[in-house]
């Protein structure tokens, strides 16, 4: 595990927190839609901490085993279990109420720990390893490896020990 970033934030520093996460995620190879999805999930978590969790929060970003993790904590009253259990996409006419739903769909995982002393949201997204230098092949999906038979691998193959049908 490598800690990349720890910081506190409030309404005035939310933007700086998002930019710091974006910069570190890019350095670790997160790009395109995956980067946008992760940043949107982090943004929702930060926004919820400020709006519902006492006006401030704490963020920790770390890297482990080709995964990027972001934990956002606050000292608010906690999230009612019913809210977590029933988090769904509200109708377009309803303002707000999409944060938990978005976090769960945009990150590879979103784990909520909540109680009367605050909430912690742990977001995770996998970052596929980059293609070899000079190769213009797309990045591999997590759990897959590039075929290394040629000078520039162009197709994916499952690792020999992977189960059929799993990714």
pLDDT at 131: 53
- Tokens at 21, concatenated: 């996460």
Report percent pLDDT > 90 for the chain. Answer: 65
Q: Does an H or E element contain 121, and which?
A: strand 118-126
**Total count of domains within the chain:** 2
Q: Is 81 in the same domain as 61?
A: yes
Q: Is 151 in the same domain as 108?
A: no
- Tens digits of residue pLDDT in 61-92: 999 999 999 999 999 999 999 888 887 877 78
**Distance, CA of 79 to CA of 51 (rounded, Å):** 12
Q: Is 135 in the same domain as 153?
A: yes
Q: Is 22 in the same domain as 85?
A: yes
Q: Is 99 in the same domain as 159?
A: no
Q: Is 144 in the same domain as 115?
A: no
Place of tokens 């990714």: 167
Q: Is 165 in the same domain as 112?
A: no
- Tens digits of residue pLDDT in 21-49: 999 999 999 999 999 999 999 999 999 99
Per-residue pLDDT at 134 exceeds 60:
no
Q: Is 31 in the same domain as 78?
A: yes
> Whole domain around residue 149: which residue ranges?
131-167
**Distance, CA of 96 to CA of 48 (rounded, Å):** 11
> Quick one: CA torsion of 80, 112, 101, 106, rounded to 10 degrees?
170
Q: Is 71 in the same domain as 98?
A: yes
Q: Is 162 in the same domain as 83?
A: no
Contacts of 70 (CB under 8 A, 6+ apart): 21, 38, 42, 45, 59, 60, 61, 122, 123
**Distance, CA of 87 to CA of 67 (rounded, Å):** 25
**Distance, CA of 132 to CA of 146 (rounded, Å):** 9
Q: Is 22 in the same domain as 98?
A: yes
Q: Is 95 in the same domain as 139?
A: no
Place of tokens 């999930």: 41
Average pLDDT of the residues in 85-101: 82
């Amino acid at each position: 595990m490598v800690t990349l970033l720890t910081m506190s934030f409030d309404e005035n520093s939310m933007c700086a927190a998002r930019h710091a996460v974006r910069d570190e995620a890019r350095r670790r190879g997160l790009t395109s839609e995956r980067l946008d999805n992760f940043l949107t999930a982090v943004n929702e978590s930060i926004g919820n901490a400020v709006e519902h969790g006492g006006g401030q929060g704490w963020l920790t970003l770390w890297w482990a085993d080709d995964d990027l993790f972001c934990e956002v904590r606050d000292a608010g009253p906690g999230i009612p279990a019913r809210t977590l259990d029933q988090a769904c996409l509200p109708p377009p006419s309803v303002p707000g109420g999409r944060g938990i739903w978005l976090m769960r769909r945009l990150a590879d995982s979103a784990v909520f720990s909540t109680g009367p002393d605050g909430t912690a949201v742990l977001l995770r997204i996998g970052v596929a390893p980059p293609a070899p230098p000079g190769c213009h092949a797309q990045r591999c999906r997590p759990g897959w490896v590039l075929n290394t038979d040629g000078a520039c691998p162009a197709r994916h193959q499952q690792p020999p020990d992977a189960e059929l049908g799993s990714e």
